[in-house]
A and B are shown apart, each in its own frame.
Chain A
Amino acid sequence: MPQVLIKVFRCNPKISTETKWDTFYVETYKNMTVLDALFEILRAKDATVSFRCSCRLGMCGSCAMVINGKERLACRTKVADLGDTITVKPLNNLPIIKDLVVDMEPFFQKYESIIPYFIGKDDEVAKTPSRSPARRLIDDMLDCITCGACYSACSMVAFDKEYLGPAALNRAYCLLADDRDAAFEERFRRINHEHGIWRCHTQFDCMEVCPKNIIPTWSIQQLKNEAVLRGLSRYRKIEEGRGAPMGEEMAGRQQRNNQREKQKLEINSKGHGLEGKRNFSKETTDEASEKAVSRKEFLKKVALSLVGITSISPLLIGIRSTLSPVTVSEAKQPWISLGDINQYEEGKPTLTTFEHPLKSGKSIRRSVYVLRESNEVVVYDAACTHLGCPVRWNEEAQMFFSPCHGGVFNKKGEVVAGPPPRPLDRYECEVRNNELFIKDFLRA
């Protein structure tokens, strides 16, 4: 069997913020996984590499990491499928404990905030048949192993550090759709806000990396539909002490479910045939019910497109829209560090963030793409030049896609399709002592 070169990200924040790549040649064998390869490194090359694992069969989600630029479980990723060079990095969007081990705490704090636990209503075991319409809505989304792959891959998590993220919202969906659970209203309140369901931009990053083939985007979309049905057609902030304006009991939902005609929903090649949409809304009066019916008819059509009703985008960063690039006097252009240049992979735009200070003393987080090619570094602003939605890089297509109105840019940042009026904005950048600096061109 051939050798492979494995590049392992190393960092021990307890000692220093320095990061580096260690390279190891590993002899491969049949069925070798990345986890096997890491153990081989421990056994024969360097016993100080840290990584996390437990079940080694894709059941516990402990060993999620970024392998060749994509979030995967190390135990379920074959070395033979990865070519002769393999890069292994810790998950994004989470603090590093050491090397490949991240602190999952922020992920689980958000998970906890949606009331992820079941609160039973009944002491009797429910008589719901398996694969009945009510269960089908949940079953395919239920096997989450909280590995954090989706949280790491989601560009909206990178953009908004308060965003609950795909896994938490998917869990909320499973419980909200579960007839047996008693915490519907409170849980719905906790996801129906700008850092909840409305922050999802249907980019499907989560679906692409989920090792359990769950589609959180779909779950989140169902919740948005429900919110819209409840008369929340625009994104809104929930203030402390002001609950959602809907008093709703879940009685009768089941009955309605059974009446609904089944709809087959074919989603990509993963073959999720999800049938039977669910609608949580309770008609309080005949009139409302009539309205709801007409809405339902409408929803049936749009929900099938999977993008359902796109959230009316929160104004992500203030509309920078079609203004020409901002020019600012030299004096106001501080250099900002984007860290060690070596953490950015050659030839692949890598998303990172920095804090942009505001006059108010607060700051907002900006997302940028860093592209290293041979000796050149380009830093693009991640905001689409049309209306400021954050673009995402698609490795297969070698294009940046904007989630909102179909804008597409190539690797050079040039507009390929859609409404954007100009190429992606670039930052002036410099590399000093292996550290990457950019000039912040935005006005506070």
Chain B
Amino acid sequence: MEELVTDILILGSGGAGLFAALQSADADPRISVTLVTKGLVGKSGCTRMVQGGYNVVLNPRDSLELHFKDTLKGGQFINDQELAWLLVSNAPRTVRELETKVGCFFDRDEHGNIHQKPFAGQSFDRTVHRGDLTGIEIISRLREQVFRRQNIKVIEECRAIDLVTNSEGTRIAGAVLLDIRTGQFLLVRAKAILVATGGGARMYKISAPSMEKSGDGVAMAYRVGAVLMDMEMLQFHPTGLLAGNSRLRGSVLEEGLRGAGAYLFNAKGERFMERYDPERKERSTRDVVARSSYMEILGGRGTPDGGVYLDMSHLGAEFVETNFPGMVERVREIGKDLAREPIEVSPTAHFHMGGIRINLNCQSNIEGLFAAGEDAAGVHGANRLGGNGVAESTVFGILSAERMVDYIKDVSSPSSYSQKQVEEIIERAIKPFKLEVNNSESPFALREEIEEMMWQKVGVVRNGNHLKEALEELNVFEERLEKIAISGPKEYNVAWNEVLNLRNILIIAKATALSALLRTESRGSHYREDFPHTDKEWFKNICLQKNGENEFKVFEQPVNFTRMKPEDVLN
């Protein structure tokens, strides 16, 4: 097996991974950076899919404190306040860097200043954007900058299977990768590893992220003993497109539509948000709007396809077509006209606030293992504001790189590792090829069942019984997955990769269901119909860690209000 040695190994090429690679490479040309990406570099992951934009304080009338308060309010006060402060205080320099060094060009107002649009849940219009397809601009420009750095080695269409540690399991040593094109394995030894592979929202039937995302980074970190946090906090975006069985299903119609004044109606023609949040109505936070829509659908007031109507026609067709061309085009794919008629939408699984617990150095409890972007927990608490996602991945991409560069100064060489651990990882990865193919079920069919079950029982509205059932069913799914056999060549074997995806997805799903069962209250994106109220007792984060083969060790930690108490924010 090929072995590669590098200083910094970065898994993932979204906003966090790319920015971390550029930042590490620029810090010192002698540092060797290896960037590994599951798809093509810059073409996989969700930063590219960002539509609405990027929250940042640029206007003198706005302030970091306001952005910080909005972020805590959105997160229902269980955010790690120091991480949230890092986000808001670093966003301005990051946007400037995107403009002046990376080469992005964001939309301007008539004076030539960067334009900022309104987004739900914010006290000031602070969302920077390029039209309604902001991510393409950010990620295309970041990807191009990788060409400029000679000390970044890029390995495309290659996925990390598992992380490797020293024999005590306290320090990261490297990662075993699978080259998807050749079906060959590769060991990369590194002084520091950044996981930036994105979250596991794809475990739901209706979901927004790109298709290859399966929470690999979080699942791998969990398997080597990293602490996970806030896993019950999974955001459902309120306006996902309904498109029957097509894969267009679940794609997001951006936040800015409601920011601009779109209405939501149920099948009876009622503007139902007036009942749920009379003050902010459609411009309420994502969790409130998603849950309200879900309640309408559950209450029998949904559309024929099980959604609600999003209507912009009162704003004038020209306004909609001018400001949201990307969204108009997307809706046209299903033969509808966003500018002139109501569109059926449903909540769609969108973003995992939970993930790997990190400290202010972006490091997990495993030495040398760093996380940034959606893989990391703490910044957003119980619910992420629209526009804070790409801000997080870029800000923490840079910060994690700065910290890793510092960290490796004191590390002379990658840690030793156990050959046995590596062999076991590979053995397990190729197991499906050694099973009897006859009568084996399809991983794609199994996936559909998992997604359906998660949607029904660990979805927008949860309850104790459902969550217990979900945990049992997930164990059965795991057994079934172990029996799936794969045939055909190892080169670019999509079915084999799907099995590997599902192994990770099931870990994320179990952690989500278990944490949701333990949190006996409703907060942010987590809603329990058997515990519908938010409870002061629950200013805590739920943490999970691996304990033996199939066990979770669970503990709670109280939130540390280092900067502001909830009452300071609300008054």
List chain A positions with a Cβ less than 8 A from chain B: 12, 14-15, 29-33, 35-36, 39, 42-44, 47-57, 59-62, 75-76, 78, 97-99, 101, 104, 112, 116-118, 120, 122-130, 132, 135, 138, 142-146, 171, 175, 178, 180-181
Q: Is B555 an interface residue (CB 8 A)?
A: no
CB within 8 A of B489: which of A15, A39, A51, A181? A15
Q: Is the CB of A126 within 8 A of B99?
A: yes
Cβ of B372 within 8 Å of any chain A Cβ, yes or no, is: no
Select B100's contact among A50, A57, A78, A120, beta carbons within 8 Å.
A120
Known contacts A14-B491, A143-B136: does B115 contact A130 (CB below 8 Å)?
yes
Complex partner residue of A31 from B102, B145, B333, CB under 8 angstroms: B333
CB distance from B421 to the nearest CB of A (A): 29
A129-B211 in contact (CB<8A):
no
| CB <8 Å contact, A47 and B248 | no
Contact check, B133 vs A60: say whether CB atoms are below 8 A apart: no
Binary interface encoding of chain B residues 34-74 relative to chain A, with 1 for a CB under 8 A from any of its CBs, else 0: 00000110011100110000000000000000000000000
Contact between B246 and A12, CB atoms less than 8 A apart: no
A residues near B494, Cβ cutoff 8 Å = 42, 47, 49-51
Q: A57-B248, A120-B101, A130-B107 are in contact. Are A12 and B112 (CB under 8 A)?
A: no
B561 interfacial by beta-carbon distance below 8 Å = no
In this complex, the member of A75, A76, A116, A118 whose beta carbon has the largest number of chain B beta carbons within 10 angstroms is: A118
CA distance A117 to B112 in the complex (A): 23
Given A47-B486, A125-B114 in contact, is the A118-B107 Cβ separation under 8 Å? no
Contact partners of A180 in chain B: CB under 8 A: 100, 103, 105
Q: How many A-B pairs fall under 8 Å by CB?
A: 182
Considering only residues 80-118 of chain B, those with a C-beta below 8 Å from chain A are: 96, 99-103, 105, 107-115
B311 beta carbon closer than 8 Å to chain A: no
Chain A to chain B: the 7 pairs with minimum beta-carbon distance, closest first:
A118-B103, A48-B488, A127-B112, A47-B495, A43-B444, A50-B492, A31-B246
CB distance from B115 to the nearest CB of A (A): 7
User: Within the assembled complex, what's the spacing in Å between the Cα atoms of A117 and B181?
Assistant: 27
What secondary structure prevails in chain A residues at the interface with B? loop
Q: Measured between alpha carbons, how far is A47 from B48 in the docked complex, in Å? A: 28
Residues from chain A with Cβ under 8 Å of B366 in the complex: none
Query: Contacts A49-B494, A130-B108, A143-B133 hold; do A55 and B211 have CB atoms under 8 A apart?
Result: yes
With beta carbons under 8 angstroms apart, the residue of A47, A78, A116 that contacts B487 is A47
Q: List 17 A-B contacts (CB under 8 A).
A: A31-B335, A42-B442, A42-B444, A42-B495, A43-B442, A44-B442, A51-B494, A59-B49, A60-B39, A60-B49, A97-B492, A125-B114, A126-B105, A129-B108, A130-B107, A143-B133, A178-B103
Indicate whether B493 reaches chain A with its CB closer than 8 angstroms: yes
Chain B hits for A129, CB < 8 A: 108-112
Name the A residues within 8 Å of B444 (CB-CB): 39, 42-43, 47
Residues of B near any A CB (own CB < 8 A): 39-40, 43-45, 48-49, 96, 99-103, 105, 107-115, 133, 135-137, 140-141, 144-145, 147-148, 157, 181-182, 210-212, 243-248, 251, 330, 333-335, 442-445, 486-489, 491-495
Contact A117 B99 (CB under 8 A): no
With A118-B102, A124-B100 known as contacts, the answer to whether A59 contacts B493 (CB < 8 A) is no
Partner of A117, one of B45, B145, B334, B492: B145
What's the Cα separation between A112 and B152 when bound, in Å? Answer: 14
Residues of A contacting B101 with CB < 8 Å? 118, 120
Contact at B487–A48, with CB atoms within 8 Å? yes
Complex contacts, B489 vs chain A, CB 8 Å: 12, 14-15, 48, 98
CA distance A39 to B246 in the complex (A): 10
Task: Please name the residue on chain B nearest to A47 by beta carbon.
Answer: B495
A343 to B210, CA, bound (A): 32
Q: Which residues of B contact A142 (CB under 8 A)?
A: 105, 137
Contact A145 B140 (CB under 8 A): yes
Which of B43, B140, B181, B247 is within 8 Å of A33, CB to CB? B247
Contact B212 A54 (CB under 8 A): yes
- Report whether A54 and B100 are in contact in the complex, using a CB–CB cutoff of 8 Å: no
Closest to A181 in B: B103
- Say whether, besides A31-B333, A62-B39, A118-B144, A48 and B44 are in contact (CB < 8 Å): no
B100:A123 contact, CB within 8 angstroms: yes
Complex alpha-carbon distance, A277 and B340, angstroms: 35
Return chain A residues, CB-CB under 8 Å to B334: 31
Nearest residue, chain B, Cβ from A49: B494
9 extra A-B contacts, CB within 8 A, seeds A62-B40, A127-B108, A146-B140: A35-B247, A47-B443, A47-B494, A48-B495, A55-B49, A55-B211, A117-B103, A118-B102, A135-B105
